[in-house]
Amino acid sequence: MMNETFVASDPKNAYEQAVEKYGEGIELISAKQIKYEDGTLRCEVSIAVPKDLFMERSFGKVSTQNNDSSRDEDEILLAELSELKKQLSLMKEEMLDSEDESVMQKVKRLFMKKGIAKPWLDDVLISLLGSSILDDATLLVSYLLEEIDESLEVQKETLDEPKIIMLVGPTGVGKTTTIAKLAARYAFLMDKPYKVALLNLDSYKVGAFEQLAHYADIMQLEHITIDSVEAFSEGLENLSEYDIILVDTAGMSPYDTQKFIKTVEFVQSDISRTLEVNLVIPATVKYEDMDDIYNNFSFLNLNSVIISKFDETKYFGTLLNFMLLYKLPMSYFSTGQEVPDDLMVASKEYLLEHFIGDLDEE
């Protein structure tokens, strides 16, 4: 990467100069206000761009119409300039240690280390160019946390009409246990008891029916299993007097085409009451899996995200990044294995407290 500094009377104009020259794909390194010897205040914005792009935009492409001598001279000059820039860049990297980083760079690096994506951070930091917040680490961390808080969405718990609540998600995220917790909550722990039934679509997983049936027997709830779209419609009709029908589905990887098609058929079938589709993802979600999970299930018109396995990690940056990137509202948190105790209505404050605790370890 090559670094370049743009100077203007204000940070916005300096940044626009950089965008005009290199386009939107630039990396912001620092922004600061400098007082020149004549007393004039100027804003300097430093950015990094790929070396090839820097050479092309700074010196242009070598014309194929030049004669051999001129072309050779230009190529030699470009090679020398490229090597000089490379050496200067290496020298700068060797000379700088962590104490020489700008406040913005340090805070940005901290949040990226904790799982927050660079594009989201850059969008927020660019809006602060020229602000004194960028020079105060405490203020900048607080500002970023406030931006995260405002970006997160929570779906309110509403049970004022009969509904079907379907849980979908990858294999092993705890959908069946979460359904048991929701069933106990709705049937026994609310201001009024709701009539709850359990419906199982997971005919793939060995023991899936038995596990859900076990919970249903303990709570004395109606429980049926379904193996076709026709049976699904018939089952819903037979359960029409129930307030809430909780639907368990097969866990899917991005390659489970058959399961995916079948789940889509269930969702798109003729249903007379409200259907809410909730994606269950673990708090332990890996950054590399985020796109696959979202792309695999977003076609189901997701209403919210239920986050499971809060008790299995103390690092929540990647989970936060998932919520910021895909802008899905959160509905519930599953915080352990106990049914029904380890379930809570989603809370931005609860999630941020865990993330802040992770930041404080640095």
Same domain, 128 and 169: no
Which of 110, 130, 151 is at the close of a domain? 151
Supply the pTM of this predicted model.
0.70
Q: How does strand 2-8 pair with strand 41-49?
A: antiparallel
Determine the Cα–Cα distance for residues 36 and 7; give it in Å rounded to an integer: 12
Same domain, 249 and 121: no
Which residues does 64 contact at the CB level (< 8 Å), separation at least 6? none
63 within a domain of the structure (yes/no): no
Same domain, 146 and 167: no
Q: Is 280 exposed, middle or buried (0-12, 13-18, 19+ CB in 10 A)?
A: buried
**Residue 175, domain CATH:** 3.40.50.300
Nearest 5 degrees, angle CA 45-CA 107-CA 104?
Answer: 15
Same domain, 247 and 129: no
Same domain, 279 and 299: yes
215 within a domain of the structure (yes/no): yes
Tokens, residue 15? 């940044």
What is the tens place of the pLDDT at every residue in 185-221? 999 999 889 999 998 886 555 555 678 888 889 999 9
What is the tens place of the pLDDT at every residue in 339-354? 888 999 999 999 999 8
Which of 86, 119, 151 is at the close of a domain? 151
Q: Is the pLDDT of residue 245 over 90?
A: yes
What is the tens place of the pLDDT at every residue in 48-93? 888 888 877 776 664 445 555 555 666 666 666 666 655 554 444 4
139 within a domain of the structure (yes/no): yes
Same domain, 274 and 144: no
Same domain, 186 and 130: no
Q: Report, as an integer, the average pLDDT of 274-301.
A: 87
Same domain, 112 and 210: no
Which of 84, 117, 151 is at the close of a domain? 151
Same domain, 104 and 207: no
Determine the Cα–Cα distance for residues 338 and 241; give it in Å rounded to an integer: 29
Give the domain extent around 303. Answer: 163-360
Instruction: Domain count for the chain, please give it.
Output: 2
